[in-house]
Each structure stands twice: as C-alpha cells, then as structure tokens.
Amino acid sequence: MIVRIMGEGQVRVDESHLTALNTLDTELLAAVQSGDEPAFRRTLAALLDGVRGFGEPLPDDALLPSELILPAPDATLETVRAMLDDDGLIPG
C-alpha cells in the first residue's frame, strides 16, 4: 500500500501492518472527536512514526497513486477533523 504523508512524500507499507495502524487511527479519531489536543498530538505523531517505521520510503521522483493520504506532522486538530470520515483516516 502506498501512503502519502503530506509534506514528506510517499512510503510503501505492507498491508500486514494495517491492524497496528488502525489501532492508532481509532485513538486519533477519539482524540479529534473529544477535542483533546495533547492526545491528538501524541497519537498523530505515533501514527506517522508507525507509517515511517513500518514503511519503505519511495524515491522523491517516484509518483505512484497514494492509497492513503495522511496529514503532515504539524497539522491542526481542525485540519485533521476535516480529513476524517467515520472510519478515521485509514479505512477498515
């Protein structure tokens, strides 16, 4: 799966890591819904770190269609709220 982190580039993440990433995504959704800024910051950082850790960065000149687009590390709670749907940022 190709994941884009806004402002950073693309990462190839094996789908076997989706369960772990979905757990963080669920926590992020809860933090956004409750307006808990410290939990939001902590969980967004953990989600992005998970994608980076599980994934393999693609070269800057490789432009593949992204299956997931995640916010930049400095995204605001309101920006992420606008990106969310009922499943969070990661479907499933």
CB 28 within 8 A of CB 92: no
How far, CA to CA in Å, does 42 sit from each of 34, 48, 51, 64, 66?
14, 10, 14, 29, 24
Coil/strand/helix, residue 15: helix
pLDDT of the chain along its 92 residues, tens only? 999 999 999 999 999 999 999 999 999 999 999 999 999 999 999 999 999 999 999 998 888 899 999 999 999 999 999 998 777 888 77
What pLDDT, on a 0 to 100 scale, did the predictor assign at position 90?
85
Strand partners, 3: 11, 68
What pLDDT, on a 0 to 100 scale, did the predictor assign at position 22?
93
What pLDDT, on a 0 to 100 scale, did the predictor assign at position 84?
87
